[in-house]
Amino acid sequence: MTKQIFWLVFLFITQLAKGVCPYFSIRSQSENAAREIVGAGWNFQINYCNQKNFYGNISITPEYTRSFRPQEIAQSLFGYCATTCNDKYLVGITGSHVANRSSYDWLADYFGLPTDYKGCISFEPRIENILADVTVFLGLDAWLEGLYFKVQTPLVYTRWNLNACETIQNIGTEGYGTGYFNDTLASEGTSTYGIIRNKLTPNFQNYMIGWPTIRSTDVSFLPLNFAKMDIKNRHKTGISDIQMSLGWNCYCDWDYNVGFNMRIAAPTGTRTDAEYLFEPIIGNGHHWEIGAGLNSFWTWWKSQDECKAWTFFLDAHASHLLKTSQCRTFDLCCKPLSRYMLAAKFNTHVTNLKAGDPVGNATTPSTQFAGIYSPVANITTFPVDVDIRLQGEVTCMLQYIHNNWSCDIGYNFWARSCENIEYQCGCDQFEENTWALKGDAFMYGFAEGSLVPVALSASQSQSTIYKGTNNFPGGDRSKTQPIEWYQNSGVDNRKPSWTTKTPIVALNTILPDGEIAQVYTSKNPIFIKMCDIDIGGTKAHSHKFFAHIDHTWCNNHYSPYAGIGFEVEFAQSPCANSCDNSCCYSCNNCELPYISSSCNYCCNDSGCTSCESCALSQWGIWIKCGTAF
């Protein structure tokens, strides 16, 4: 037990969080030794010595808890590159044609917003719990001296709210260029478009709650089905995991006690279904737990009349969380937040398309765009099996007793090792050689002369949530500078595109002024592979300080007690704020310390996984009352 506790402390103090949590995993509402051991009415009416019969104690502890440091929750969910102001976390969302857009604004094109759209969305996440913790202790000395059984059953109402608010600086008037998404030629004024503005989504909030984005008759845009961000609070009510322990006080006296126990927790809470990024969770994620614990106290000073005393308490336990089934949404390796990027679907039936340079070397690519777009989250959400090697907490408490009053002050350390996540066997979860990142690539070319549309085989595996690799140059809309953007200059394995007709003719992109230029395609596209998905989990640790005051009424049959307590828990901060906070209402550039420039998006033999710290800073206030019997 001592070795396990030391390992927990060492592991979580020496490791720092570096990335984006795929799922915000909390400390179970049942996992709170501080709330359990406070109060002389409780802890001096359990673990009796020299008893020959049954006895017990029951407590009911209503508690309200509320998170603080909302910017740290947001950093766990969205990364560090944003402005933080008045506890609000701000993310810039700008289109590919916005002049001087921030290097780390999210690309509005992915969400069906215009290429000149400019806005910000703020987050101020909050988690609140209202619970009633019922704990029953049964002394089983009639069977074996020092034997006891304890069960804890918290009823929980939990409410989670991202407190998301979008601010639009420019709603945008531009449509999408011809061939950027679809094969339609449309005109508005003197400009040629593929999709005009009134067919696009009005704002980012519509996208994030899962509404349809772009209305088009020739291609399909699938809405966001997973990792959605609700603009309202979400809540659940249920029983958190039921924790039970069977123990034996092997060293027992009125002034000291040392006992050991075997622990088990039954999963009566909820499990994640991945529909929402910030979804309310009750309990430990629906794991069975098995473990062991230590309970002890030592009264190191007592007055002669025994009306005053100082006592030190130590409580520790560690458990293994057994495998359970959950549904999780994952990012791609080395691409934080790629779940919100746009993927294009391809098929092997290639029609009227060749790629190569010079024209005599042109051959048919392996696949061709199939006319379907989807947020990456829709294709990287799977049922998985999750287990956790070790979870534990250590609680130290100092208690002063004066007559029937007691006052407690203490410290609690809690830690959880990294989740082990595995695909569920026999589950057809992913279509290989089918989906690729679109980025800001043009997906259609038009045959020179006839302007017959042809689907391309373009992909952009190096694109990120912040930008594509065509990289519209600085928002300059002049014809001379951004022409390469319209030609697909940044697509994978770039080759000029041609038709298969005789004689062969070039496939072109159509510029806004109606002129044409040959468009590039990928030969061949780079697909998202299973091993490119970052099957990463979370780990956590926190430090809690607590205090409690308690009064016990003594009589011959029962000893009721009541008290009030307070706790404040500090989670490990994900990262020092590395962004420029000089302006409260703009989204500024910053460095991302956890992204290596040498980390390429590719499939490798060992796959790619990460483990990010994810814990909650919160405070709570409780009233604890009960009686011995």
pLDDT score recorded for residue 593: 32
- Which pLDDT belongs to residue 20? 80
pLDDT band at 342 (very low <50, low <70, confident <90, very high): very high
Average pLDDT of 85-97? 85
Report the C-alpha gap between 38 and 400 in whole angstroms: 11
Q: Looking up tokens 């990120």, which residue turns up?
A: 464
On the question of pLDDT at 239 being above 50, the answer is yes
In the prediction, which pLDDT does 609 show? 61
pLDDT at 113 over 90: yes
556: pLDDT confidence band, cut at 50, 70 and 90?
Answer: low
The whole-number pLDDT of residue 597 equals 32
Using pLDDT thresholds of 50, 70 and 90, give the confidence band for residue 153: very high
Residue 592 has pLDDT above 80, yes or no: no
Beta bridge partner(s), residue 541: 415
CA–CA separation, 544 and 542 (whole Å)? 7
> DSSP letter string over 476-543?
---STTTHHHHTTTTSTTEEEEE-SSSS--BEEEE-TTS-EEE-EEESSPPPP-GGGB---EEEEEEE
What pLDDT was estimated at residue 554? 80
HSE-CB at 385 with a 13 A cutoff on CA atoms is 8
pLDDT in the model for residue 425: 67
- Between CA 539 and CA 13 the distance in angstroms is 12
- Spatial separation of the C-alpha atoms in residues 126 and 79, rounded to whole Å: 17
pLDDT band at 474 (very low <50, low <70, confident <90, very high): low
Alpha helix stretches (DSSP H) within 29-177: 33-37, 40-43, 70-78
Q: Answer with the residue of higher pLDDT: 58 or 429.
A: 58
**116 is written with which tokens?**
């000149």
With tokens 């061949």, the residue in question is: 524
Phi and psi at residue 304, to the nearest 5°: -65, -35
Q: Higher-confidence residue: 216 or 569?
A: 569
Q: Is the pLDDT of residue 535 over 60?
A: yes
Residue found by looking up tokens 């017990």 in the block: 56
According to the 3-state scheme, what is the secondary structure of 171-182?
Answer: CCCCCECCCCCC
- Of the two residues 218 and 620, the one the predictor is more confident about is 620
> What is the per-residue pLDDT for 430?
77
* Average pLDDT across the chain, whole number: 86
pLDDT of residue 605: 39
Q: Is the pLDDT of residue 428 over 50?
A: yes
Q: Residue 481's pLDDT is what? A: 53
Beta-carbon neighbour count of residue 499 at 10 Å?
A: 22
Question: pLDDT value at position 102?
Answer: 86
Average pLDDT over residues 349-376: 93
Q: Contact at 8 Å (CB) between 343 and 528?
A: yes
Mean pLDDT value of segment 380-384: 92
Per-residue pLDDT, 306: 78
Location of structure tokens 């808890």: 65
Name residues whose C-beta falls within 8 Å of residue 498's C-beta, 6 or more positions apart in sequence: 353, 354, 355, 356, 359, 362, 504, 505, 506, 507
Percent of the chain with pLDDT over 90: 65
Q: 528 burial class (0-12, 13-18, 19+ CB within 10 angstroms)? A: buried
582 pLDDT higher than 90? no
> Does the pLDDT at position 523 exceed 80?
yes
DSSP notation for 284-306: SSS--EEEEEEEEEEEEEE-TTS
Q: Which residues contact 319 (CB under 8 A, 6 or more apart)?
A: 263, 265, 289, 290, 291, 292, 390, 391, 392
Cα 552 to Cα 41: distance, rounded to the nearest angstrom: 5
Does the pLDDT value for residue 3 go beyond 80? no
d(CA 345, CA 455): 11
Question: Could you tell me where the beta strands, DSSP code E, fall in 417-493?
Answer: 419-423, 435-437, 444-447, 453-455
Q: For residue range 187-237, what is the model confidence (pLDDT) as tens digits?
A: 666 666 788 888 899 999 999 999 988 888 889 999 999 999 998 899 999
Beta-sheet strands, E only, within 466-514:
494-498, 507-510
Looking at residue 264, its pLDDT comes to: 97
Residue 536 pLDDT greater than 90, yes or no: no
The stretch 361-367 carries a mean pLDDT of: 93
**If you average pLDDT over residues 356-368, what whole number do you get?**
90
Q: Quick check: 266 pLDDT over 90? A: yes
Residue 63: closest CA among 409, 407, 551, 566: 566
Q: What predicted TM-score, i.e. pTM, was given to this entire model?
A: 0.88
pLDDT tens per residue across span 270-317:
999 999 999 999 999 999 999 999 999 999 998 888 789 999 999 999
Q: What pLDDT sits at residue 19? A: 59
